[in-house]
Amino acid sequence: MATKQQAGKNNILSIDIGGTSIKTVLLDESGNMLTEYLKSKTPAEATPKDIVNGIVELIKPFPDTFDRVSIGFPGYVKNGVVKTAPNLAKNKWAEVDLAQRVANVLKKSVRLVNDADQQGLGVVEGKGFEIVFTVGTGFGTALLFDGELLPHLELAHFPISKEEDYDDYVGNRAFEKIGTERWNKRLRKVIEIYKTVFNYDTLYIGGGNSKQIDFKLESNIKLVTNRDGIKGGAKLWKLADKYNIFTVNPEK
């Protein structure tokens, strides 16, 4: 594997956990990629053990030149502990200390945040009020103002009808059930709702199903990739205490 290896051990391993795949890359402190971008399939109904094992296997080709790990996770996270994981194994993720488990296995310090939040840090321009959508297995959102991450809100679980929330409405299960044309109509509706409610300056749309968008986007809406978003893992270690992002160290 071609590797632009940087001396020392001050690099950052950035990981993006998704409902369909786990992605990773080694970054320098400025967010530049030092290795190839690797990914592997997320097991169906993935348990915490599945995810930790998947990370360990995926990073085997990487040099040990990192001392910190950033993880974006598809659910609600607080202080390194997973509270929800709607698109992974049911009833297996409540109060899971995933950051601690990864820190113990890799022997590195870990910061764990919502996956859309990490992607937001990687893609925004830092001007005004910016929102990030991820349309993949589920529907993720992140809010940032002048480049600063705002407290995470699980906007995907607001109801959009009597029976569905946004995750149900435009997540991958809906896409597979209703097809491309109807899914695009739904996504346009979601964008219009967010435009009216939030009056954002810029909206970024990423995630695996963003490539299925077939309508013209307004000039302040931009498509982004997972490769761009995973670079947000470097910024997690520049935020100091103002974002109150919890750092988990390996147990001795």
pLDDT at 191: 98
Mean local confidence (pLDDT), 16-42:
95
Confidence at residue 4, expressed as pLDDT on a 0 to 100 scale: 44
At residue 52, the pLDDT reads 98
Strand partners for 72: 16, 113
In terms of DSSP bridges, do strands 129-135 and 139-145 run parallel, antiparallel, or are they unpaired?
A: antiparallel
Distance, in Å, from the CA atom of 1 to the CA atom of 206, rounded to the nearest integer, reads 27
Sorted by sequence, the CB contacts under 8 Å of residue 89 that are 6+ apart come out as: 45, 46, 47, 50
Instruction: Tell me the per-residue pLDDT of 205-251, one tens digit each, with 9 for 90 and over.
Output: 999 999 999 999 999 999 999 899 999 999 999 875 556 678 999 99
**For position 242, what pLDDT does the model report?**
56
CA dihedral angle for residue 201, residue 207, residue 212, residue 214, rounded to 10 degrees: 0
Q: At what angle do helices 98-106 and 48-58 cross, to 10 degrees?
A: 30
- Please give the average per-residue pLDDT across 151-165, as a whole number: 92
% of the chain beyond a pLDDT of 90: 89
239-243: long-range contacts at Cβ-Cβ below 8 A with a sequence spacing of 24 or more? 239/149, 242/148, 243/148, 243/149
Average pLDDT, the chain: 93
Please tell me the pTM assigned to this model: 0.92
* Domains present along the chain, CATH in parentheses: 11-117+238-248 (3.30.420.40), 121-229 (3.30.420.40)
